[in-house]
Structure 1
Amino acid sequence: MTTEQFDEMFDNGEDVSAYVDWSKARRPNQEARRVNVDFPAWMVRDLDKEAGRLGVTRQSLIKMWIAEKLG
């Protein structure tokens, strides 16, 4: 299959998943980097309470909130 054929299938909304090696798929600019941040105890407590209310982890909650502000 040529690139042009693949693009045409994709553009037509056809299923091209059989032609993709998903084990090597990467999202650009999505590699993780560790960042350490110190929060006061009261803030951690409130973060945990809100994370529990939403049913997510503290880390996920912080990521969601930061993404909202940056996006």
Structure 2
Amino acid sequence: MITTKEFDQMFDNKEDISKYIDYNSPLTKEDLIKMLEKRKNEQLTIEITKELKDKLEEKAKKLGLKIQDVAKVLLAKELGLI
């Protein structure tokens, strides 16, 4: 067993992490959304370009999600929260 920090370091160093991944029970998009919804929410209003909004809407439609959920998951992923 390794710590999350050790796992992250291995991932960042492009080392083989496959033996630490449980392929039998992967996270689903619903799991990710539930994880984000359990956290205390605060409101953020931002202005984005039409191009960015169109891309978010396209991805949301493809995944069957709301645009807000896609934005939350992408931001959380980019910031290392998931």
Normalized against structure 2, the TM-score is what? 0.48
Deviations 1:4-57 (A, max 9, x none): xxxxxxxxxxxxxxxxxxxxxxx6xx2211000110111111110111001101
- The percentage of counterpart residues that share the same residue type is 19
Which structure carries more relative contact order (alpha carbon 8 Å, separation 6+)?
A: 2
Segments of 5+ residues of structure 1 without an aligned counterpart are 1-26
After TM superposition, the runs of 4+ consecutive aligned structure 1 residues lying more than 3 A away are: none
User: Which residues of 2 match residues 1-71 of structure 1 at below 5 A?
Assistant: 30-70=39-79, 71=81
Normalized against structure 1, the TM-score is what? 0.55
How many residues align? The count is 43
Whole-Å separation in 2 of the counterparts to 1:69 and 1:45: 19
Segments of 5+ residues of structure 2 without an aligned counterpart are 1-37
Whole-Å separation in 2 of the counterparts to 1:50 and 1:59: 11
The structure whose Rg is larger is: 1
Give the alignment's Cα RMSD to 1 decimal.
1.2
